[in-house]
Amino acid sequence: MRRTWIYDKDGNAHEYVREPSQHHFVQPDFEEYGGRTKWRERLKANDTIELSPKELAQARDKWNSKKADFNAKLATGEKLNVRPVDTDVMAAPAYERSRLNKELLNRLDGRPVPERKMLIKLALETNRMLRGR
C-alpha cells in the first residue's frame, strides 16, 4: 500500500492510498515477479520483449493450429518430411582441419583460450604469416 498526500486549491491536505497491483507475472520456470517494474527489468536483462494479451492469444492460436495440423498428418499417415537419424556416430566423415586452423592451434598449444577478439586477431596474424606478408 502506498500513501501519498494530495493538496487541493485551498492548501488542504488529503491522504490518497494506492493499492498495489494484484497481478503477478509468472516466468516459464514458475518464478513470480510481484510487479510490472520487476517484470520489465527481467525482460530487459534477458533481451526479450513484452507481448500484449492480444499478441499472446494470436501466438497461442497459431501454435494450436500447427499442433492440430501435425496431429492430423500423424493420424492420416501422411509423409512428414522427416529423415531417419544415423545411429552410428562414427559414420560421419572426419573433419579435416585447414592449414590455418592447424597453425592457430599450434600457436595456442598450452595456453588458455583467449577472448573472441584476441582469437580473431591471432587468426588474422596467422593467415598473414602463412601468405608470406
- Mean pLDDT, to the nearest integer, of 3-18? 82
- Residue spans of the domains in the chain: they are 2-76, 96-131
Lowest mean pLDDT among 11-15, 44-48, 65-69, 88-92: 88-92
- In angstroms, rounded to a whole number, what is the distance separating the alpha carbons of residues 65 and 70? 9
pLDDT in tens, 57-100: 888 899 999 999 988 888 887 777 766 666 676 676 777 888 88
What's the CA gap between 115 and 108, in Å, rounded? 12
**H-only helix segments in 14-115:** 36-45, 53-76, 99-108
DSSP category for residue 81 = -
